[in-house]
């Protein structure tokens, strides 16, 4: 069985022009692949609007809520009117979407009354964008003589009850997905599945986390033993740097799962970080392609990517961070300080992005998201109260407004001199490096710099290393 799963992201289905473009791509691929599954995101910005309407409702801002709902309604109605030629089909589709919108309005009203929105309620509401869009895309495909049917992923993807960040049960999902989608394949249909959502075994709607439609595509591909997954977006693939920072950022023709995993972890908005999990085990190639430039091949992501370029594949950044330092001479040689420090951090709920300890053992520093700052400091101070009182630890403090710059490339493995070139480039640009870490995978080097130096740091590393290779 020759199956391809294609996912279209928010901007690829963000207005009628884009949806038409996406549908053309589906029609073309339908000719080559025996079975085709389409996974759609909500129209760009709709998930945000849905979430904000629920929040406004909870805050008692009825007018704001109604405005947000009205904007969502108008956008979908306009898109349907622009896309669907047959009056009859249009009526059916508009009625269908109206039903979703009515449901949505009812939910928002009850949130308004209760003055609170639960994570479970938020999932029902935030998945509405995908549910409406799958209907639109399927109807358009039918109008182009491509047999298609909208499918709600709650029929296919079974998850636990971690609302807003649900974890799929792969065995159960496999069974359901095959049961729902295989009969559609046999009838020659293209299933148009809602991204982002799933459901508990009892059928309660869940979502896979923001940006989760990529993950949906990978889960379905795994469940269907697909040959490949194609992620359609609005750029020419995975880029070597953020094009807003680096004008010469270029699409990477091939990249490995390990590298793309680091990239996603280190802030590049290429793929939902969990996307590669289902495909890695099967060594299923994943492509990132541009809906608005479909003739371009894009980026191929696979287990053993063959590098055409040099040692470094990409430079990426994470913003809004703080570097937190626990320092004191009394820490020298005392076992358990690091364990207790990180235990305290874990209790505060903050995730640690980077750690380093100087070998003199006089400080431990870690990088955390800035919004967790004070909580983390409080927790560590509480844990270390005795050491602070005794003066073994001098202070726990945070430096705000820092960023992590990560240089990624499996080509730097066991290749000496890469870090020298990185620091050389930064030195030439007069950029101060606050902290450094290299993962033992040797796929990446991360450094912390001041937020104000971020753009220049990325540009100088990109220019000195990525562009010359
Ligand atoms: N619509 C969802 C979001 O905006 C999921 C996705 O687009 O991948 O987070
Ligand atoms: Mg996305």
Tell me what pLDDT residue 46 has.
97
Q: Residue 151 pairs with which residues in a beta bridge?
A: 193
Distance 290 CA to ligand 2 centre (A): 13
Q: DSSP readout, 390-401?
A: HTSS-EEEEEEE
Same domain, yes or no: 319 and 222 = no
Helices (H), 288-412: 337-348, 373-383, 385-390
Tell me what pLDDT residue 356 has.
82
Same domain, yes or no: 220 and 355 = no
Same domain, yes or no: 329 and 218 = no
Instruction: List pocket residues of ligand 1, CB cut-off 6 Å.
Output: 9-10, 41-42, 47, 129, 195-196, 210-213
Same domain, yes or no: 223 and 342 = no
State the residue for tokens 């148009």.
Answer: 192
Same domain, yes or no: 69 and 211 = yes
Same domain, yes or no: 153 and 14 = yes
Long-range contacts of 12-18 (CB under 8 A, 24+ apart): 12/41, 12/232, 12/233, 12/234, 12/291, 13/40, 13/41, 13/42, 13/43, 13/44, 13/133, 13/137, 14/43, 14/44, 14/45, 15/43, 15/79, 16/78, 16/79, 16/82, 16/83, 18/291, 18/292
Q: Which burial class, exposed, middle or buried, applies to 419 when counting CB atoms under 10 A from its CB (0-12, 13-18, 19+)?
A: middle
Same domain, yes or no: 79 and 168 = yes
Distance 272 CA to ligand 2 centre (A): 6
CA-CA-CA-CA torsion for 422, 425, 427, 430, nearest 10 degrees? Answer: -130
In a domain, 256, yes or no: no
Tell me what pLDDT residue 309 has.
55
Residue 440 has a CB neighbour count (10 Å cut-off) of: 5
Tell me what pLDDT residue 263 has.
83
Distance 284 CA to ligand 1 centre (A): 23
How many domains, the chain? 2
Tell me what pLDDT residue 66 has.
93
Beta strands in 41-164 (DSSP E): 148-151
Ligand 1 atom at minimum distance from 216 CA? 8
Domain boundary among 170, 201, 234: 234
Beta strands in 121-182 (DSSP E): 148-151
Same domain, yes or no: 193 and 336 = no
Tell me what pLDDT residue 1 has.
62
In a domain, 280, yes or no: no
| 3-state DSSP helix/strand/coil % of the chain, to nearest 5 | 45, 20, 30
Distance 73 CA to ligand 1 centre (A): 18
Max intra-chain CA distance, the chain: 80
Distance of alpha carbon 275 from the chain centroid: 8
Ligand 1 atom at minimum distance from 42 CA? 1
Q: CB of 253 within 8 A of CB of 313?
A: no
Of 43, 51, 212, 264, which is best to mutate to test ligand 1, by the most ligand atoms within 8 angstroms of its C-beta? 212
CATH number at residue 378: 3.30.2130.10
In a domain, 277, yes or no: no
If DSSP codes are grouped into helix, strand and coil, which group holds residue 322? Answer: strand
Distance 344 CA to ligand 2 centre (A): 33
Task: Write b or e for each residue in 61-72: b if 16 or more Cβ atoms lie within 10 A of its Cβ, otherwise e.
Answer: beeebbebbeeb
- Angstrom distance (rounded) from CA 306 to CA 328: 47
Domain boundary among 200, 234, 268: 234
Q: HSE-up of 345 (CA within 13 Å, CB side)?
A: 24
Beta strands in 46-189 (DSSP E): 148-151
Q: CB of 355 within 8 A of CB of 437?
A: yes
Q: Whose CA is nearest to atom 2 of ligand 1?
A: 211
In a domain, 243, yes or no: no
In a domain, 296, yes or no: no
pTM of the full structure? 0.87
Residues of the chain with pLDDT under 70: 1, 267-268, 305-311, 359-360, 414, 439-441, 469
In a domain, 241, yes or no: no
Tell me what pLDDT residue 332 has.
74
Q: Whose CA is nearest to atom 8 of ligand 1?
A: 211
CATH number at residue 77: 3.40.1160.10
Domain that holds residue 378: 314-466
Helices (H), 315-360: 337-348
Distance of alpha carbon 53 from the chain centroid: 22
Domain boundary among 199, 234, 269: 234
Ligand 1 atom at minimum distance from 129 CA? 1
Tell me what pLDDT residue 258 has.
86
In a domain, 392, yes or no: yes
Tell me what pLDDT residue 30 has.
96
DSSP state of 465: I
Q: CB of 220 within 8 A of CB of 229?
A: no
In a domain, 240, yes or no: no
- Angstrom distance (rounded) from CA 136 to CA 152: 13
Same domain, yes or no: 26 and 141 = yes
Distance 45 CA to ligand 1 centre (A): 9
């Amino acid at each position: 069985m020759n199956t391809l799963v294609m996912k279209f992201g928010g901007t690829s289905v963000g207005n009628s022009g884009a949806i038409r473009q996406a549908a053309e791509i589906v029609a073309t691929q339908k000719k080559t692949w025996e079975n085709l599954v389409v996974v759609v995101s909500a129209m760009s910005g709709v998930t945000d609007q849905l979430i904000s309407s629920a929040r406004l409702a909870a805050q008692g801002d009825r007018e704001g809520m109604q405005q947000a709902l009205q904007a969502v309604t108008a956008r979908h109605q306009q898109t349907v009117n622009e896309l669907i030629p047959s009056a009859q089909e249009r009526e059916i589709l508009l009625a269908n979407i109206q039903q979703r919108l009515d449901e949505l309005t009812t939910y928002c009203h009850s949130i308004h009354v209760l003055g609170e929105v639960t994570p479970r309620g938020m999932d029902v509401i935030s998945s509405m964008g995908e549910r409406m869009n799958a209907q639109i895309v399927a109807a358009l495909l039918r109008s182009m003589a491509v047999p298609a049917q909208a499918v709600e992923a709650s029929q296919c993807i079974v998850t636990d009850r971690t609302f807003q960040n649900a974890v799929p049960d792969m065995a159960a999902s496999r069974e359901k997905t095959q049961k729902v989608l295989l009969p559609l394949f046999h009838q020659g249909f293209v299933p148009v599945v809602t991204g982002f959502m799933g459901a508990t075994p009892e059928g309660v709607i869940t979502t896979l986390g923001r940006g989760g439609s990529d993950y949906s595509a990978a889960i379905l591909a795994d469940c269907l033993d697909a040959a490949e997954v194609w992620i359609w977006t609005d750029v020419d693939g995975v880029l070597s740097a953020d094009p807003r920072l680096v004008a010469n950022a270029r699409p990477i023709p091939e990249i490995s799962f390990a590298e793309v995993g680091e990239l996603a972890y280190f802030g590049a908005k290429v793929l939902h970080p969990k996307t590669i999990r289902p495909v890695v085990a099967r060594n299923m190639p994943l492509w990132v392609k541009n809906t608005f430039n479909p003739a371009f091949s894009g980026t191929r992501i696979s287990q053993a990517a063959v590098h055409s370029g040099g040692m470094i594949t990409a430079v990426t950044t994470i913003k809004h961070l703080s570097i937190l330092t626990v320092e004191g001479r009394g820490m020298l040689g005392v076992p358990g300080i690091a364990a207790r420090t990180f235990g305290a951090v874990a209790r505060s709920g903050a995730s640690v992005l980077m750690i380093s300890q100087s070998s003199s053992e006089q400080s431990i520093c870690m990088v955390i998201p800035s919004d967790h700052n004070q909580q983390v400091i409080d927790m560590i101070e509480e844990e270390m109260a005795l050491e602070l009182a005794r003066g073994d630890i001098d202070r726990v403090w945070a430096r705000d407004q820092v960023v992590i710059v990560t240089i990624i490339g499996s080509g730097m493995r066991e290749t000496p001199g890469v870090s020298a070139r990185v620091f050389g480039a930064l030195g030439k640009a007069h950029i101060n490096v606050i902290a450094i870490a290299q993962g033992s995978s040797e796929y990446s080097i991360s450094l912390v710099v001041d937020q104000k130096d971020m753009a220049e740091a990325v540009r100088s590393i990109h220019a000195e290393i990525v562009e010359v290779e």
